[in-house]
Amino acid sequence: MTAIWGIVNATPDSFSDGGRYADADAAIAHGLRLRANGADVLDVGGESTRPGAERVPAAEEQRRVLPVIERLAAEGIPISIDTLNASTALAAVRAGARIVNDVSGGLADPDMLAAVAGSGADIALGHWRGPSSDMYARAEYTRIGREVAEELRERISAAGAAGIAPARIIVDPGVGFAKAGAQNWDLLRELADVVALGPRVLVGTSRKRFLASALGDDAGEARKDLATAVTSALAARAGAWAVRVHDVATTRDALAVLSAWDG
């Protein structure tokens, strides 16, 4: 069955739950709850990548995430570090992370791919067209699935050239990153283009702004989590290897229902 990545935001300003788990103990407790609810991987982040977010110094990012990673990894839980910084990626791997989740696909930090290559960790390469502060300025597509796949193919090639074996590469179409409104729905409908690239595919729709076009702008967290579970199940059916979510339990149930349906 499709793997579930549970989101642990050790930040004061993430778009959905910013500040809720900024304290290390709160983040650790949250991660343990997500694991108990069925998370296969915990994705720990210390810098918000919400639209308009400003960058955080690497030292502050590491202060936020390393104690969380060390404790959760000590419990035997597979950990991913959600970061744009090579130095944070290396520190996180030393602390126990097994995967580096770089939403920029190695474009934000020119040292990222080489750093991950030497670390032995897997890497998730996100589709990205620039920093969060102005990501929507580049949201222009003719056929989004094909264009995202081609740009991810370039990142796969760059990762390979840096010494990262194909088996260590994951790709993420970057729902919500440099994609506005209906473009995200188009991308999900055309997910086959990304799956056809070959590497494992990670899809993250959780609580993202584009869901409002289906639910309405006043939808609360519970309704967004239900919509996330539905889109995650549909992504799984389209070939996603893993989905990244805030609410693990709802998505776990949706994937279980999909599995039963498919027999």
> What type of residue is 167?
A
Rounded to 5 degrees, what are φ and ψ at 61? Answer: -55, -45
Could you count the other beta carbons within 10 Å of the beta carbon of residue 162?
17
Q: Pick the catalytic residue: 35, 129, 155, 244?
A: 244
d(CA 119, CA 164): 10
Rounded to 5 degrees, what are φ and ψ at 4? Answer: -115, 125
Q: Pick the catalytic residue: 71, 155, 208, 252?
A: 208
d(CA 112, CA 249): 33
Return the structure tokens found at 152: 């991810």
Identify the three-state secondary structure at position 180.
coil
Our measurement of the distance from residue 199's CA atom to the centroid of its chain's CA atoms, rounded to an integer in Å, reads 15
- Residue from 232, 261, 234, 198 nearest 38 by CA: 232
d(CA 189, CA 201): 14
**Kind and range of the H or E element at 42?**
strand 41-45
Residue 244 is among the residues annotated as catalytic for this protein: yes
Cβ burial 7-28 (10 Å sphere, 16+ → b, else e): bbbbbeebbbbeeebbebeebb
Positions annotated as catalytic residues are: 208, 244
